[in-house]
């Protein structure tokens, strides 16, 4: 069995873009369970061909608990529960938000290692963006730009070091 890594974060931080960048999506396995409106998307990251791992892209984890948003949140939580490692993805342009705080609080109740990934660092001051998340207390804050494929090697190294 390949290790499982889950992308978790609020909507629009760039989880799906990062998922595509890491899996290059063409050879990604996408499971669509019938009857599930927003299924989790699974793909295999083979950027290091020696050490592939399964990546799961989730919807938003917190917020409304009713209807579609609630179902999506449930799926996200289930993915985070079964993952060997969670990548907590945040938006380096917008900075830390109350929803990020809530998601992280939930993640910390789980017994799973979490890496902080600060996305969208293209065209902005990286250190300022990373500093905004200092209060979350992560030893490492990894800055990436999923759309520009910046920082993915460093992210990959950190992920593999923890699997």
> Interface residues with ligand GDP (CB under 6 A)?
9, 11-17, 119-120, 122, 145-147
Helix (H, G, I), strand (E, B) or coil at 71: helix
CB closer to Mg ion, 68 vs 157: 68
∠ CA 86-91-96, rounded to 5°? 90
Q: What CA–CA distance (Å, rounded) separates 9 from 92?
A: 13
Nearer to ligand GDP, 51 or 93 (CB): 93
Query: Parallel, antiparallel, or unpaired: how do β-strands 141-143 and 114-119 relate?
Result: parallel
Answer yes or no: is 59 a known binding residue: yes
Stretch that binds Mg ion, among 10-18, 80-88, 96-104, 155-163 (CB under 5 A): 10-18
Site string for Mg ion, 68-107 (x = CB under 5 A): ----------------------------------------
Burial class (CB within 10 angstroms; exposed 0-12, middle 13-18, buried 19+) of 35 = exposed
14, 16, 115, 121: which one binds Mg ion (CB under 5 A): 16
94 binds, among ligand GDP, Mg ion, none (CB under 5 to 8 A by kind): none
- How does DSSP classify residue 150? B
The 3-state DSSP class for residue 122 equals coil
Residue 120 contact among ligand GDP, Mg ion, none, beta carbon within 5 to 8 Å by kind: ligand GDP
Please state, in angstroms and rounded to a whole number, the distance separating the CA atoms of residues 146 and 112. Answer: 24
Residue 122 annotated as lining a ligand binding site: yes
Compute CA 57 distance to the chain's CA centroid, rounded to the nearest angstrom. Answer: 7
139 carries a ligand binding annotation: no
- The residue (of 21 and 159) whose beta carbon lies closer to ligand GDP is 21
What residues form the annotated binding site for GTP?
Answer: 9-16, 57-61, 119-122
């Amino acid at each position: 069995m390949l290790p499982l890594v889950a992308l978790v974060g609020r909507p629009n931080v760039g989880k799906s873009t990062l998922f595509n960048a890491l899996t290059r999506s063409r050879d990604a396995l996408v499971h669509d369970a019938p009857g599930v409106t927003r299924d989790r998307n699974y793909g295999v990251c083979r950027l290091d061909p020696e050490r592939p791992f399964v990546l799961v892209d989730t919807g938003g984890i917190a917020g409304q608990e009713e209807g579609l948003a609630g179902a999506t949140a449930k799926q996200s939580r289930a993915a985070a529960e079964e993952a060997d490692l969670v990548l907590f993805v945040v938006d380096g342009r917008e900075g830390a938000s109350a929803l990020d705080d809530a998601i992280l609080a939930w993640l910390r109740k789980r017994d799973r290692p979490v890496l902080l990934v600060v996305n969208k660092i293209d065209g902005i001051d990286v250190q300022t963006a990373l500093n905004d998340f200092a209060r979350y207390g992560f030893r490492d804050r990894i800055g990436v730009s999923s759309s520009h494929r910046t920082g993915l090697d460093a992210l990959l190294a950190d992920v593999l070091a923890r699997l």
